[in-house]
Amino acid sequence: MFVSHKHNSEAVATLTLMIRNLRTKRDAASIDGDTFEQNMAILLSILEPILINDVNLEFLYKLNMVSDLTESLMEQPLPSEVQTWRPKAFFRFLLRALTSALRNEYGV
């Protein structure tokens, strides 16, 4: 037996705002790199399972958050660009959130 559930939450909008504020703080040098990475990992680990819901996924597109996520992906240096390459702490969660976002026809 399948249970149908209508989900309408502000979680995507709240997380979008928090991620954008966090990036603004990083750009203004209000927080250090390690704190930024840890907080991004937490926020993205919360966002990814929320995107399973199609309504939340559509809301993510309306907020233009996919472009913000891809910007974060492009900020990750390649191993050939730095001497001691270490992926950002949030990189795995970023990839998972982008994968969830691109599973829908809106993302392709």
pLDDT of the chain, 108 residues: tens digit per residue:
444 545 557 888 899 999 999 999 988 988 888 898 899 999 999 988 888 888 888 888 888 888 888 888 888 777 777 777 666 778 888 888 888 888 766 655
Structure tokens at 58: 């559509």
Is the Cα torsion angle 81, 40, 74, 103 positive or negative in sign?
A: positive
Structure tokens at 24: 């603004």
Count of beta carbons in the 10 Å neighbourhood of residue 54: 12
pTM attached to this predicted model: 0.79
Length of the chain: 108
Domain ranges in the chain? Answer: 35-89
pLDDT at 61: 85
